[in-house]
């Protein structure tokens, strides 16, 4: 009986390792900006209730060369949620194994009003927002709730809760971070208890 259990455990391990693949060269240095020892990944499905149509339906578990899990990566390609001529968002979220946000990665610079690229100070402010979400975000139902309906300017009471002239971007990235962390907590945290 013990022999059968051992054989079935090995079979399940082989199936699991069959899904873990080496990170492609073009992503390796990018992912290593968050996980220095990144070597393998495992792609898993995740819902995307934020973008329409849903396009960001994959989360990656990242492993080192000894198959030790380092954390999670989620690549996002979306819009900011405005009905104007806003530039699309492309960014990557990195989280540790216990569902803590680590880092935001970008291939191309994020932009704000007028397609002006984020400054270093803007990225620091965004990191602050993502590590310590403003309480005001709990009452925002949609990005339009953040701006004045007539002028399009960020509401004064939210000015300190966003990257200046990038309210929609700040909020959209926050939404994806929250949804990703919730997914990890609900589906994977039991592995670390």
Q: What is the pTM of this model?
A: 0.86
Q: Is 11 within a domain?
A: no
Q: Is 71 within a domain?
A: yes
Q: How many CB atoms lie within 10 A of CB 157?
A: 9
Using the predicted structure, report yes or no on whether residue 130 has a pLDDT greater than 70: yes
Distance, CA of 57 to CA of 50 (rounded, Å): 11
Distance, CA of 193 to CA of 191 (rounded, Å): 6
Q: Is 65 within a domain?
A: yes
Number of domains the chain contains: 1
Neighbour-count burial of 29, counting CB atoms closer than 10 A to its CB (0-12 exposed, 13-18 middle, 19+ buried): exposed
Return the beta strands (E) in the chain as ranges: 20-22, 40-45, 58-63, 69-78, 89-95, 101-105, 111-112, 116-117
User: What domain range is 48 assigned to?
Assistant: 20-192
Write down the residue that tokens 């100070």 correspond to: 121
Per-residue pLDDT, 11: 41
Write down the residue that tokens 């005001």 correspond to: 136
pLDDT tens per residue across span 181-193: 999 999 988 755 4
DSSP strand pairing (111-112 vs 69-78): unpaired
The residues facing 42 across adjacent strands are 20, 61
CA distances from 26 to 35, 107, 111, 134, 143 (A): 15, 11, 23, 35, 33
Using the predicted structure, report yes or no on whether residue 67 has a pLDDT greater than 50: yes
Q: Is 5 within a domain?
A: no
Region of poorest pLDDT, from 33-37, 62-66, 109-113: 109-113
Q: Is 15 within a domain?
A: no
Q: Is 32 within a domain?
A: yes
Q: Is 86 within a domain?
A: yes
pLDDT tens per residue across span 1-11: 554 444 444 44
Q: Which of 125, 144, 126, 145 is nearest to 136 (CA)?
A: 145
Q: Is 12 within a domain?
A: no
């Amino acid at each position: 009986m013990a022999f059968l259990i051992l054989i079935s455990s090995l079979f399940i391990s082989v199936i699991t390792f069959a899904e873990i693949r080496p990170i492609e060269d073009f992503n390796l240095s990018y992912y290593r900006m968050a996980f220095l020892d990144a070597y393998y990944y495992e792609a898993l499905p995740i819902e995307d209730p934020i973008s329409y149509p849903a396009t960001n339906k994959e989360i990656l578990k990242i492993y080192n060369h000894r198959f030790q899990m380092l954390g999670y990566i989620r690549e996002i390609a979306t819009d900011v949620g405005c009905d104007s001529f806003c530039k699309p968002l492309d960014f990557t979220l990195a989280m540790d194994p216990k569902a803590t946000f680590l880092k935001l990665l970008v291939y191309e610079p994020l932009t704000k009003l007028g397609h002006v690229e984020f400054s270093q100070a803007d990225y620091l402010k965004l990191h602050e927002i993502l590590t310590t979400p403003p309480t005001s975000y709990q009452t925002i139902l949609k990005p339009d709730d953040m701006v004045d309906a007539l002028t399009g300017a960020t509401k004064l009471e939210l000015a300190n809760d966003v990257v200046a002239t990038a309210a929609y971007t700040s909020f959209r990235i926050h939404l994806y971070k929250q949804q990703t962390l919730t997914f990890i907590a609900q589906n994977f945290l039991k592995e670390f208890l």
